[in-house]
Amino acid sequence: MSGQTLTDRIAAAQYSLTGSEVARAVCKATTHEVMGPKKKHLDYLIHATNETNVNIPQMAETLFERACNASWVVVFKALVTTHHIMVHGNERFIQYLASRGSLFNLSNFVDKTGSHGYDMSTFIRRYGRYLNEKAFAYRQMAFDFARVKKGADGVMRMMASDKLLKAMPTLQDSLYWLSPLFLSFLQVHPKELTNGVINAAFLLLFKDLIKLFACYNDGIINLLGKYFILQAPLR
């Protein structure tokens, strides 16, 4: 039997009545069930971002609306869903997020329904801040560090000096918010290892961390290469 609450069912029904299947899918992905967003709903939303007739701002605004819920479960799943679409969806989605003046205002979020809610609220505040930074980095660079090509012929390795000097501080800022967030997930209580919401977020953050460090490594190699080229005539 589904663990969805009556509130979840009513919200989904309301969106169905408005004719917005995208908003309904967002609602279904962010229910009160303590489990990660269901794959079928995430897949639907990813597919929707590639459809030219889909209203991307409406999708994003529905996610922001869900992130204003009082329940840590709903808010956490809204963040996970947003992150998943930023990583796997059409670039139009993150472009819209980057165009907004603000995204998630969760710095004061606290679920006061119990001690568990308090514990999860800490993760939510940090997670929201990281996603804000991820969108800001896209606004600064016009690309997502986690999605660009890596390696010898990657974006950061081939980048011109002026753009590289802009990219490295932006990348450092992203790592500044991501690294402690990821470490905090490693310190969760053993009983939380079965928490599907935590697991879904952990996987996304782990992949971002690996990709951002790869970009940072490419950037450092590029900087050192340019430095030695400049130093060569002075020898």
pLDDT digits (tens, 9 = 90+) for 163-183: 999 999 999 999 999 999 998
- For the ranges 30-34, 94-98, 115-119, 155-159, which has the lowest average pLDDT? 115-119
- Find the domain containing 106 and state its range: 6-234
CATH code of the domain covering residue 52: 1.25.40.90
pLDDT of residue 36: 95
Report whether 73 contacts 113 (CB < 8 A). Answer: no
Look at the chain and report how many structural domains it folds into: 1
pLDDT of residue 1: 37
What distance in Å separates the CA atoms of residue 51 and residue 93, rounded to the nearest whole number?
Answer: 11
Is 12's pLDDT higher than 70? Answer: no
- For the ranges 64-78, 106-120, 128-142, which has the lowest average pLDDT? 106-120
Residue 114 lies in a domain: yes
Residue 145 lies in a domain: yes
Residue 53 lies in a domain: yes
Is 193's pLDDT higher than 90? Answer: no
pLDDT digits (tens, 9 = 90+) for 209-232: 999 999 999 999 999 988 777 665
pLDDT of residue 13: 64
Mark 155-190 as b/e (b = at least 16 C-beta within 10 Å).
Answer: bbbebeeeebeebbebbeebbebbeebbeebeeeee
Is 55's pLDDT higher than 90? Answer: yes
pLDDT digits (tens, 9 = 90+) for 61-96: 999 999 999 999 999 999 999 999 999 999 999 999
Residue 173 lies in a domain: yes
For residues 127-154, give the mean pLDDT.
96
Could you tell me how far CA 108 lies from the centroid of its own chain?
19
Residue 54 lies in a domain: yes
Residue 127 — very low, low, confident or very high, per pLDDT cuts 50/70/90? very high
Residue 90 lies in a domain: yes
113 phi, psi to nearest 5 deg: -75, -10
Does this model's pTM top 0.75? My answer is yes
Q: What is the mean pLDDT of the chain?
A: 89
Share of the chain above pLDDT 90, in %: 74
**Exposed, middle or buried: residue 88 (CB in 10 Å: 0-12, 13-18, 19+)?**
middle
Residue 66 lies in a domain: yes
Tokens standing for 93?
């989605």
For residues 98-104, give the mean pLDDT.
90
For residues 189-204, give the mean pLDDT.
84
For residues 156-165, give the mean pLDDT.
95
Report the 3 state secondary structure along the chain.
Answer: CCCCCHHHHHHHHHHHHCCCHHHHHHHHHCCCCCCCCCHHHHHHHHHHHCCCCCCHHHHHHHHHHHCCCCCHHHHHHHHHHHHHHHHHCCHHHHHHHHHCCCCCCCCCCCCCCCHHHHHHHHHHHHHHHHHHHHHHHHHHHCCCCCCCCCCCCCHHHHCCHHHHHHHHHHHHHHHHHHHHHHHHHHCCCHHHHHCHHHHHHHHHHHHHHHHHHHHHHHHHHHHHHHHHHHHHHHC
Residue 1 lies in a domain: no
